[in-house]
Amino acid sequence: MTAFDWTGAHALPVRVYYEDTDFSGFVYHASYLRFMERGRTELLRGLAGDQSDLHRDADGLVFVVRRMEIDYLKPARMDDALTVLTGTRELRGASMHLTQAVRRGAEILVRAEVVVACVREGRAIRLPESLRRALSRPVAGRNQSLTLLAP
């Protein structure tokens, strides 16, 4: 994965609960997927409101994960306070290419590259222009002071 400038990324605080861990006491790998889904959802909520409203207002538009590449670098444990960072890497016709990271303090534990497709009735459609514009400007929940580069 290439370096990413986290300035302007959306930041979502997450606490690790017992249900997020496996028998070893570490966060179960699939729990990070849930954390990152929440990060993407909150990014979109900050840009365009609830996804259910967007779905209704845009005649059935939905977002689906098309591709995800994940590096698990270090484990998290129960009660850890984490931050899920979500930033836009690239916008294409019908997809958003996002970079995500799960941090504990300044330490990156997990990083992911995610391609999210815009779909209506099972077919890819262009990202709405309003969402395109919104993805390029600061929103509530974005942390303007993050300058950490992913290794």
22 noted as active-site residue? yes
CATH number of the domain bearing residue 20: 3.10.129.10
Question: Per the domain annotation, does 102 fall within a domain?
Answer: yes
Q: Strand pairing partners for 82?
A: 14
Domain assignment present for 103: yes
Specify if 80 maps to a domain: yes
DSSP states along 13-46? EEE--GGGB-TTSBBPHHHHHHHHHHHHHHHHHH
Quote the domain boundaries for residue 48: 10-134
pLDDT in tens, 67-123: 999 999 999 999 999 999 999 988 999 999 999 999 999 999 999 999 999 998 889
Catalytic residue among 5, 20, 22, 80: 22
Does 111 reside within a domain?
Answer: yes
Number of domains the chain is built from: 1
User: Is 148 contained in some domain?
Assistant: no
**Is 2 among the domain residues?**
no
pTM reported for the whole predicted model: 0.83
